[in-house]
Amino acid sequence: VPETFAGLVNDKRGMVYVAQGKIEEAKAAYSQAYRGLAMLPESQQMVANKLSVLGVDVTTLVPAGEPRS
C-alpha cells in the first residue's frame, strides 16, 4: 500500500476489526490511521472519534516519526 493511503487503509482495517469484535486490534489499526492522517485533519478527527469510543485518548498517541519514550 502506498504510504499516502496507509492511514485510510488502517482506518478500514479498524472498522473490520470492530465488526469482528477484535477491539485491541481495532485500537492498534485506528492508532496507526490517526498518525497516518496528519495531513488530512477532517479524516484524522473522524478516526479520533472512533478511538475515543474505544476508550483511547488520542492526546497520548505519539506522532508518526517521533520516538516513543
Predicted pLDDT of residue 61:
85
Look up residue 66 and give its DSSP letter.
S
Q: Are 46 and 58 in contact (CB under 8 A)?
A: no
Look up residue 21 and give its DSSP letter.
T
Cell of 47: 478516526
Predicted pLDDT of residue 64:
61
Q: What is the pLDDT along the chain (69 residues), one digit of tens a residue?
A: 788 899 999 999 999 999 999 999 999 999 999 999 999 999 999 999 999 999 999 998 866 655 554
